[in-house]
Amino acid sequence: MISITKQWIEEGVENIYEATFNFLGILVMVDILTISNNEVSIYEVKSSTEVKDIYLHDVSIQYYVLKNLGFKIKSANVIHINNEYIRDDELDINQLFKIVDVTNEVISMQSNIPNILQEFETYLKDRENEPNIDIGKQCNNPYTCDAKEYCWKVQRNIPDYSIFNIFNLGSKKQIELYNRGIINIDDVPHDFDMTSIQAQAVENYKSKITYIDIENIKSFLQNLTYPIYHLDFETYQQAIPQYKGLKPFEQIPFQYSLHIEYEDGTLEHKEYLAQDSVDSRYELALKLCNDIPNDVTVLAYNMSFEKSVIKRLATLFEEFSEHLLAINDNMQDLMIPFQKKWYVTPSMNGSYSIKYVLPALEPEFEKAYKELDGVQNGSQAMNAFSKLAFLEEDEKQKPRNSLLEYCKLDTLAMVKILYILKNI
DNA sequence: TCTACGACCCACTGTATCTA
DNA sequence: TAGATACAGTGGGTCGTAGA
């Protein structure tokens, strides 16, 4: 790569992707290098929607290497996605990307780079001693450290569930406990400064009993009127919007499942699955309005997600706007009893995610997911949908059925969770 | 080649922490 | 102490890689 880069520069190529350089063992690959009038510009391309501090470190080391190799550097830049861009008929890449000149920031970081490199070299040369760095914020920020598994589990025996898993306990308090030699939740002192929810979670863990706040759960259930419409969307995202009216990374719904639960316990199921390779948002919005009246209770798990999808559809299609916004107003969140810690079991491990709540309440459901043919989780669902476009017509029915079965099980799980809440 | 998994991305919400 | 900001957790994704 280094020799090809050199060759292309000598041949006068003006734009080189993944241009590769080495200075005293420091290897860098510049996403885009532009060369004009004997000056080069560095462009670091990120799929993020903003410039983050860590990107500046990336660019600064590239700048350092190129400067030391004798290049005259005109500018250093970060290119990222503009999430405010809304695609029209044609894609406008000048609007899609934002180019941010970070030359001054990068230059100001140059003086410290030799010290950092020296530090790295010291660590690498010492084959006898491991770096002596204790657990801290740096373990997870800005990224999870590659050595975390070793440092935490092998060196320090931190268990899977520890004081680092206490709900919403900030890293400062986690470190405070850790510095006092407290790792297991069982050892957290009764008088340690925590919120009432955190203290309750700790007590529940210590006592190993299921905690149920019947009053609050009953009050939550009283707000639900029959029939109850259990709703779950499946969506996909694109950094580069494919259809008119889409923004980068917008959640594009392609499927929903709807279980309608009547007061006598009977269930009715409705569903929608888009055709592949087409913009199906209009059809989905139309079907959703046909399936859900504007005056019924709609239940979702972590409804902010469903609401944001529906709100976007309402903005796009004025003819459905009133109906869709009414559905949104009538939506309630099945996650609330677990998020508010009104129902906690030890096996939920402090989480209120449906991934923990469902197996804790209804272990049979894990089995049901495993017995599904083809699609057993969200990741497989996405794969199956994305592959539909490449199949012959007669090959599509089986994966489509798998997708429908998977999504159906999601809303059926919500029905089960609600049933358990009603029968406490 | 397929699958599982981890690291990263998004939006949104609630809570903790910081700062004026 | 109130408002702003940061963090943590939820849902939903994409992509690259290791291993079967």
For residue A364, the model assigns a pLDDT of: 73
Which CATH code of 1.10.10, 3.40.1350, 1.20.120, 2.60.40 fits the domain covering A2-118?
3.40.1350
Contact A254, A237 (CB under 8 A): no
Q: Protein footprint on strand C: which nucleotides are under 7 Å from a CB?
A: 7-15
Across chain A, mean pLDDT equals 80
Whether residue A349 has pLDDT greater than 70? no
CA distance A368 to A383: 20
Whether residue A73 has pLDDT greater than 90? yes
In whole angstroms, what separates CA A91 from the centre of its chain?
A: 26
pLDDT tens sequence across A112-128: 889 888 887 887 778 78
Q: Kind and range of the H or E element at A331?
A: strand A331-333
Q: Which of residues 265-304 of A touch strand C (CB under 7 A)?
A: 301-302, 304
Contacts (Cβ under 8 Å, ≥6 apart) of A174: A163, A164, A166
Band of the pLDDT at A35, cuts 50, 70, 90? Answer: very high
CA distance A55 to A53: 5
The encoded tokens of residue A119 equal 């530090």
For residue A144, the model assigns a pLDDT of: 66
Å separating the CA of residue A311 from the C1' of nucleotide C7: 27
For residue A71, the model assigns a pLDDT of: 95
> In the sheet that A228-236 helps form, which strands lie side by side, from edge to edge?
A267-273, A252-261, A228-236, A297-300, A331-333
* C-alpha pair distances (Å), A316 with each of A242, A253, A288, A310, A311: 15, 13, 14, 10, 9
Question: What is the full DSSP assignment across A149-166?
Answer: IIIIIIIT---SSSGGGS
Determine the average pLDDT of the residues in A222-239.
Answer: 84
Neighbour count for residue A396 (Cβ, 10 Å): 16
How many percent of chain A have pLDDT more than 90? 8
| Range name among A293-307, A349-363, A406-420 with the lowest pLDDT average | A349-363
For residue A246, the model assigns a pLDDT of: 80
| Range name among A55-59, A161-165, A214-218, A389-393 with the lowest pLDDT average | A389-393
A338 touches strand C (CB under 7 A): no
Q: Protein footprint on strand B: which nucleotides are under 7 Å from a CB?
A: 3-18
Determine the average pLDDT of the residues in A341-370.
Answer: 74
Q: Around A317, how many Cα atoms within 13 Å sit in the side-chain half-sphere?
A: 18
pLDDT greater at residue A72 or residue A221: A72
Strand partners, A23: A26
Determine the average pLDDT of the residues in A10-33.
Answer: 86
| DSSP character at residue A129 | S
Beta strands in A52-209 (DSSP E): 73-81, 97-101
Whether residue A194 has pLDDT greater than 90? no
Coil, strand, or helix at residue A417? helix
Which residues belong to CATH 3.40.1350 in chain A? 2-118
Which residues belong to CATH 3.30.420 in chain A? 210-424
> Nearest nt to A197, CA vs C1'?
B15
pLDDT tens sequence across A263-302: 998 999 888 888 877 788 888 888 889 999 988 888 888 7
The length of chain A in residues reads 424
Neighbour count for residue A216 (Cβ, 10 Å): 15
For residue A366, the model assigns a pLDDT of: 66
The encoded tokens of residue A195 equal 């919120």
Whether residue A178 has pLDDT greater than 70? yes
The three-state DSSP-derived secondary structure of A300-356 is: ECCHHHHHHHHHHHHHHCHHHHHHHHHHHHCEEECCHHHHCCCEECHHHCCCCCHHH
Comparing CA positions, the residue from A28, A25, A7, A9 lying closest to residue A72 is: A9
The encoded tokens of residue A344 equal 């906690």
A386 touches strand C (CB under 7 A): yes
Å separating the CA of residue A401 from the C1' of nucleotide C12: 21
A409 touches strand C (CB under 7 A): no
Which fold, A210-424? Nucleotidyltransferase; domain 5 (3.30.420)
Whether residue A36 has pLDDT greater than 90? yes
